Amino acid sequence: MTDETLTIQLRRLDEGVPVPHYAHPGDAGADLVTRVDVTLAPGERSTVPTGLAIALPEGYAAFVHPRSGLAARHGLTVVNAPGTVDAGYRGEIAVTLLNTDAREPVVLHRGDRIAQLVVQRVERARFVETDALPDSVRGAGGFGSSGGWRAGEGGPAAPSAAGAPAAPSADAAGSR
């Protein structure tokens, strides 16, 4: 594995905010901070400026992700997660935050970490119209097509403790 680091040109629009940085080695997201104080009442959203503009190389995009600790402890999330920063965008990165807590406001102060910026290589696609799409296992199954969220609801049979597929239930065996 090579230790190549992508260089991204950055312009601070507010000298008082730090350059994005990674909190720990191996982290995928670099911290973004707010350049303003903001209070979000329960259920309220606000687009919060970061004081930063970047120039990504062609073939890359940056994605703004919520911070897991803020989400877990305060119900704060990014509305359009992940937000996309395209390679050609040169304006200030802003983050649309939402307080999902039903009772408590979220108070943010200038310099508080509000989101993470993940930079990734992206492919440019060529879309070709066709009269029919090839078959797949999933087909046209959309929302909810893989079953519920509870163990055993929909989806493929869960493997048994020994790793073999679970035996079909009596109802399933009787319907064959």
pLDDT of residue 147: 77
One-letter identity of residue 166: A
- State the Cα angle at 57 between 54 and 61, rounded to 5°: 70
* Those residues with Cβ within 8 angstroms of residue 109's Cβ, 6 or more apart along the chain or in another chain: 34, 37
Rounded Cα distance between 119 and 56, Å, is 9
Domain boundaries of the chain, sorted by first residue? 9-121
Rounded Cα distance between 114 and 13, Å, is 17
pLDDT of residue 174: 43
We find that the CATH architecture of domain 9-121 is: Distorted Sandwich (2.70)
156 band by pLDDT with thresholds 50, 70 and 90 = low
pLDDT of residue 152: 72
- State the Cα angle at 143 between 142 and 149, rounded to 5°: 130
Using a 10 angstrom Cβ sphere, with 0-12 exposed, 13-18 middle and 19 or more buried, the burial of residue 148 is exposed
One-letter identity of residue 116: Q
167 band by pLDDT with thresholds 50, 70 and 90 = very low
C-alpha 23 chain-centroid distance: 18
